[in-house]
Amino acid sequence: MSAKKVKVFAVLGIPVIDGPADIAELLISALSRQKTPLRDGDALVISHTLVSKAEGRVVDQKDIQLSEKAKDLAGRNGFDPFQVELALRESREVLRTERVLITETLYGLVCNFSGVDHSNAPAGGYVLLPLNPDASAQRIRESLLHRTGLHKLAVIISDTQGRPWRKGSVNLAIGCAGISAFKFNKGKTDLYGRVIERSTVCQVDEIAAAAEHVMGEAGEGTPVIVIRGYGYEDGSEHGRDIPRPKTEDIFR
């Protein structure tokens, strides 16, 4: 059996952006400068903050008009009222409002504050999640394929979020393109020859988590990571398919 080897490295030199930008062009230029051009089969993990900024998903505090509901929730919990207001606007359903503000976003993600954050945002600004992370990943992927002439690339949009029943946060996928969100082990055999009846792995979450060690969460300035050597296949399941439907969600 040959040893498996996966390489994880950062794309250095991507400038800080605070407005619309061409992410594919930024990536290709940065990769060229560090002499690590993309290869067929590479997977890129891109922080949603970079994508959101490039798509104009940044709101200045002075442009936010507070609702009475936002003021009330913020006052009862000691939250930032402007962050609460944006979280409410970005949600289709509010699931919990005591000590945390858990919502289901317009896109269908379940997370704290609808993913609204002021980390790595311009002064007085808030970064929202991309409107459609799968579509964002697909646009970036198509642009990279067109400009590089490559045939196989995966793009994963990531965000750091908490998980039920576990402390701490991890980097996970909120959108993807060119790669199936899941891989399935059903039908394979274990070490003792038993056939696996069921096993679904969210491989895009695994890849996003692996990228976090190099990406960082503060001011490292490395919002894009390349994963090289990981075997994957494209498929019909994307980031939108990862959250459990309400009928299977035991936390609601």
pLDDT digits (tens, 9 = 90+) for 216-245: 665 567 899 999 999 998 988 999 999 888
Neighbours of 98 (CB within 10 A): 9
Compute φ and ψ for 111, nearest 5 degrees: -160, 175
User: Phi-psi category of 28—alpha, beta or left, where left has phi over 0 and alpha has psi -120 to 50?
Assistant: alpha
Nearest to 173 by CA among 251, 225, 231: 225
> Who's near 99: CB < 8 A, 6+ residues apart?
77
What's the CATH fold of domain 7-57+130-235?
A: 60s Ribosomal Protein L30; Chain: A; (3.30.1330)
Nearest to 251 by CA among 141, 100, 139, 148: 100
Q: DSSP label at 63?
A: G
Q: What is the pLDDT of residue 218?
A: 54
Q: Is the dihedral of CA 20, 25, 30, 31 positive or negative?
A: positive
Query: Is residue 167 predicted with pLDDT exceeding 90?
Result: no
Do 224 and 47 touch, CB atoms closer than 8 A? Answer: yes
Architecture of the domain spanning 59-125: Alpha-Beta Complex (3.90)
What residue ranges do the domains of the chain occupy? 7-57+130-235, 59-125
Q: What is the pLDDT of residue 250?
A: 66
pLDDT digits (tens, 9 = 90+) for 60-119: 999 999 999 999 999 999 999 999 999 999 999 999 999 899 999 999 999 999 999 988
Compute φ and ψ for 104, nearest 5 degrees: -100, 120
Do 173 and 242 touch, CB atoms closer than 8 A? Answer: yes
Sole residue written with tokens 């606007």: 89
Do 103 and 84 touch, CB atoms closer than 8 A? Answer: no
